[in-house]
Structure 1
């Protein structure tokens, strides 16, 4: 259990990192802090004392306690800094190792130490990681946003990155309110070509599964809807299955079982948020004694190693993976070098959007009119 003074200390530190106090701004008085945290004056003084000793605050006799300008401290150590932080939603599974390898390879060749972080797509984890990065000497940050479909409660930490002149870019998704430089796929088009492929194969009863706490899922759902509209195929509302990250191993499977148990309108095609989900749904189809693609067709997304690891080789949308990671590394290094050289040129850095490509394998087939 955390001591009272440490609770006060960490809260003040978090306020500094979130930009609540600007450099050289006076912080709350001892009396105000005592009231805010319901602690004694001694507890407040111990917390403040440690923050002063660690360089977060400084005292002026007769005036109060102030927030240190850490950018001055960091500039003194600029020559020894050569560190890039990479934050992803996940690190060790699915397509993320490939993205990270692409970035790490380029960064290490250019003399940068790489610090890896995983949020597990959790906002509180993202907050702790951003605080850690802002507390250290970091040259730049490559970030995969957490729950990017929602307004980000950690936005002040990104403002503080900007305020302390630490460049950052985003991959796979972005926080729209920040308008950052990012590297993303055209996910709307990706969802469209997934669905169009099935429609052109004669499918009309197509179920789409979309993870909607990330912007990628929202865009892919939009593509799914656009494909139906283009080919004038009505959408059954029951055929759009949305779920959050915490539900990814349960809700899609449960919803598919319900749809497959119906006496009528049994789907003939499935559009999946990613290959990982496609493999989970293959388990449901196997339990129902349904064959892919003879009984039902399925399309994945990302062209991960899973697409060829299953008994049925998945038709899927290709993700740039290594290429995206390397391009992100090149971009962040360019931004860091421009920053370190105080380069004031007006070079514009634009978002990179990768065009999706369908990789056709064995998980889809054409069906005749009497099968629909």
Structure 2
């Protein structure tokens, strides 16, 4: 995450005061001297931050009186109330809007919400906690009826919990998809990723592989749970681990990940015959590394991806992968949030959480050690195997 400047820190804090109601429309904010002392910054930094907020309409200046929270927020709320009957809006916050999975989830959301007279307001965090905070502030200021969220760095404590609690105080339903923040115990729609990691690994073990490497992203719970399933599969099959069996990475490692994987494979004393990947994007990156190292797939190494995205069939090697419900998840999320909105004043307003059980889609990136020949034919291509 890029380091936050002093100017943006002051600006975002004042916005937080406004969106949370600490400073209300018409209230006078602290003087320059008070803000300088409060934030331990220069007068120039304070003037830049306040100037930006005046320009953006959050604040206004009155000659000789000071700086005040703008009444535009009141006008906006009045206008929102006038149009509420005709404008029903669902906020959607994801990590990456252009991600290879999320466009399909959006397609499912839109297909159902449009029929029910709802519109979508989209925002992306780029898996950055500070950007998630800004997204939540903007959603709260837009008078949304409900919110669907894909958590940011879900395996870590989330410092934006207070915004979700504010949603609850305002009786605005929210739903988390793909993962959730455990400290909130929110409603969610997810895939059983621990089981997905298990059946991916079990597939290779049943094909005779024992030296299997797992590569997992660990600042999101999906990767943590997939790694748990990976480890459980070894235990249940009574196969010992070898020392280099797991490679982990985080969002910030993305730029140098290909080199990291290459160095990992070159340095490995126990050369693997199989690799379990956090997702299909990572699997394609691993395929590129193996191609550079003149290692054949599946003749020398078998690979399993995750999500069964369009990328699973994008290269010359078609990936065995764990299926993600994608469009079905989007439709289910849309139905859930509408039911929660329309029944919000009832005693048991929220529908139940949903957990999808994973399926393995087998293609030609995996093969048995016994039949791994250069020209081997695979009769199991594109067959779906349930949990």
Asked if TM exceeds 0.5, the reply is: yes
Partner of 2:271: 266
Q: Using the alignment, how far apart are the partners of 2:243 and 2:21 within structure 1?
A: 45
Task: Give the TM-score normalised by the residue count of structure 2.
Answer: 0.81
SS at match of 2:85: helix
Is 1:51 the equivalent of 2:69? yes
Contact 1:9 1:51 in 2 (8 A): no
Partner of 1:36: 38
1:74-133 deviation line (CA, Å, top 9, x unaligned) = 656532441111111111131111111111111112111111111111111111111111
Contact 2:148 2:177 in 1 (8 A): yes
Q: Using the alignment, how far apart are the partners of 1:86 and 1:218 within structure 2?
A: 24
Please report how far the alpha carbon of residue 350 of structure 1 lies from its aligned counterpart in structure 2 after TM superposition: 1.6
Structure 1's unaligned 5+ residue stretches are 57-67
SS at match of 1:115: strand
The correspondence for 1:125, drawn from 122, 131, 149, is 131
Please report how far the alpha carbon of residue 368 of structure 1 lies from its aligned counterpart in structure 2 after TM superposition: 3.8
Partner of 2:357: 355
Is 1:189 the equivalent of 2:195? yes
Partner of 1:286: 291
- Given the superposition, is the C-alpha separation of residues 357 and 211 from structure 1 closer, same or farther in structure 2, using an over 3 Å criterion? same
Is 1:176 the equivalent of 2:215? no
Contact 1:140 1:167 in 2 (8 A): yes
* Correspondences of 1:128-277 after superposition (within 5 Å): 128-251=134-257, 253-260=259-266, 262=268, 264-277=269-282
Partner of 1:102: 108
Count of residues in Structure 1 that have an aligned counterpart in Structure 2: 351
1:188-247 deviation line (CA, Å, top 9, x unaligned) = 000000100011111111000000010000000000000011111111232201100121
Partner of 2:381: none
- Given the superposition, is the C-alpha separation of residues 180 and 251 from structure 1 closer, same or farther in structure 2, using an over 3 Å criterion? same
The correspondence for 1:307, drawn from 303, 307, 312, is 312
SS at match of 2:135: helix
- Given the superposition, is the C-alpha separation of residues 358 and 5 from structure 1 closer, same or farther in structure 2, using an over 3 Å criterion? closer
Q: Using the alignment, how far apart are the partners of 1:278 and 1:9 within structure 2?
A: 41
Contact 2:100 2:309 in 1 (8 A): yes
- Given the superposition, is the C-alpha separation of residues 94 and 322 from structure 1 closer, same or farther in structure 2, using an over 3 Å criterion? same
Contact 2:125 2:132 in 1 (8 A): yes
SS at match of 1:208: strand
Q: Using the alignment, how far apart are the partners of 1:15 and 1:229 within structure 2?
A: 51
Contact 1:209 1:252 in 2 (8 A): no
Partner of 1:364: 366
Q: Using the alignment, how far apart are the partners of 1:347 and 1:121 within structure 2?
A: 30
Contact 1:205 1:267 in 2 (8 A): yes
Partner of 1:12: 14
Structure 2's unaligned 5+ residue stretches are 1-5, 51-58, 374-387
- Given the superposition, is the C-alpha separation of residues 9 and 79 from structure 1 closer, same or farther in structure 2, using an over 3 Å criterion? farther
Q: Using the alignment, how far apart are the partners of 1:248 and 1:311 within structure 2?
A: 24
Contact 1:249 1:280 in 2 (8 A): no
1:150-183 deviation line (CA, Å, top 9, x unaligned) = 0001111111111222211011010111111110
Partner of 2:303: 298
- Given the superposition, is the C-alpha separation of residues 317 and 227 from structure 1 closer, same or farther in structure 2, using an over 3 Å criterion? same
Is 1:330 the equivalent of 2:348? no
Contact 2:340 2:350 in 1 (8 A): no
* Correspondences of 1:54-133 after superposition (within 5 Å): 54-55=72-73, 78-133=84-139
Q: Using the alignment, how far apart are the partners of 1:370 and 1:49 within structure 2?
A: 74
SS at match of 2:307: coil
Is 1:316 the equivalent of 2:300? no
Partner of 1:64: none
SS at match of 1:237: coil
Please report how far the alpha carbon of residue 338 of structure 1 lies from its aligned counterpart in structure 2 after TM superposition: 1.9
Q: Using the alignment, how far apart are the partners of 1:307 and 1:233 within structure 2?
A: 28
